[in-house]
Chains A and B, each alone.
Chain A
Amino acid sequence: MTLTDLIEIVIAVALVIGAVFTLIGSVGLMKLDTAMKRMHAPTKAATLGIGALLMASMIHSFAFGSGSLKEVLIMAFLFVTAPISANFIAKVAIHRGQDVPPPSPPNDQTWSTLNPLDEAIDDPELPTRS
């Protein structure tokens, strides 16, 4: 067994791990029953899955090519953007009242998503939007 074989095995293992976790993320998305629960699967299982796939890509490029570090950027942007999309989906889920309503915050009036904006728009004092 040569070093090339060893590197190929490592790449294959990383690819399989990535594929398995991405699959589990998708299974979770199908299996879980409420919107809030469903968000857990893609935000976590999928990040590790894609991380492992990118790791495989990086090892391959360093072992057999000129080497590239663009994957680090992809991972960084993914880690920065995943929570934001999850947060937006959560806000919609709360606003639609699809889940159990959240408890009120201990030291403030209400949650920012539940701020009664609708009343503010109906207020006759405010200029109406056409």
Chain B
Amino acid sequence: MQRARRSILPHPFLTFVLIVVWCLLAGGISLGTVVFGTILGLLIPQVTAAYWPDAPRRVHPVKITLYVLLVLWDILIANIEVAWIVLTKKNRDMRSIWVTIPLELRTPEAIAILAGTITLTPGTVTADMSDEGHCLLIHALNADDADAVRDDIKNRYERRLKEIFE
């Protein structure tokens, strides 16, 4: 039963997202858009299932919604902060540093989300990952203390992602 479900719906959440995206693209919910969206939502995960073999299981929807809201709020703050730094600080007063973050996360999806979050939030851009995937390299625009940046990211984002995915 479980196996039959998996062969028809390899990624139920992806199916749901595809239906919603199709309805948004078509600009309204009618029987036609929902039916065609469902067809796409069944076909696309089937065709692409080979490229995404191990999707994470047991993802908490409430926690991930809270995480998205937190990140959206941080993006707002980040924008204002970076705009202020760009407008008021001189280039030679800016202390740009590299920060390395040893990762506790092991799920590839979670690491990808963490990297994206870091790029979109205050004064930091994800630059690279170590060859074995145990460490992220981050560039901070204006920071005094690499350890403080690292602890902030670990406490604020990585801990929550670990709760969500692992």
Residues of chain A touching chain B, judged by Cβ–Cβ distance below 8 Å, are 21, 24, 27-28, 31-34, 36-37, 39-41, 43-45, 47-49, 68-70, 72-73, 79-80, 82-84, 86-87, 90-91, 93-94, 99-100, 102-103, 105-115
Do B131 and A111 touch across chains, with their CB atoms under 8 A apart? yes
Chain B hits for A83, CB < 8 A: 115-116, 118-120, 126
Do B82 and A45 touch across chains, with their CB atoms under 8 A apart? yes
Chain A hits for B87, CB < 8 A: 24, 27
Do B126 and A82 touch across chains, with their CB atoms under 8 A apart? no
Chain A hits for B129, CB < 8 A: 111-112
Number of B positions contacting A (CB below 8 A): 39
Query: B110 in the interface, Cβ–Cβ < 8 Å?
Result: no
Chain B hits for A109, CB < 8 A: 130-132
Do A112 and B130 touch across chains, with their CB atoms under 8 A apart? yes
**Minimal Cβ-Cβ distance residue in A for B136:** A105
Complexed CA–CA distance, A17 and B119 (Å) = 22
Do B79 and A40 touch across chains, with their CB atoms under 8 A apart? no
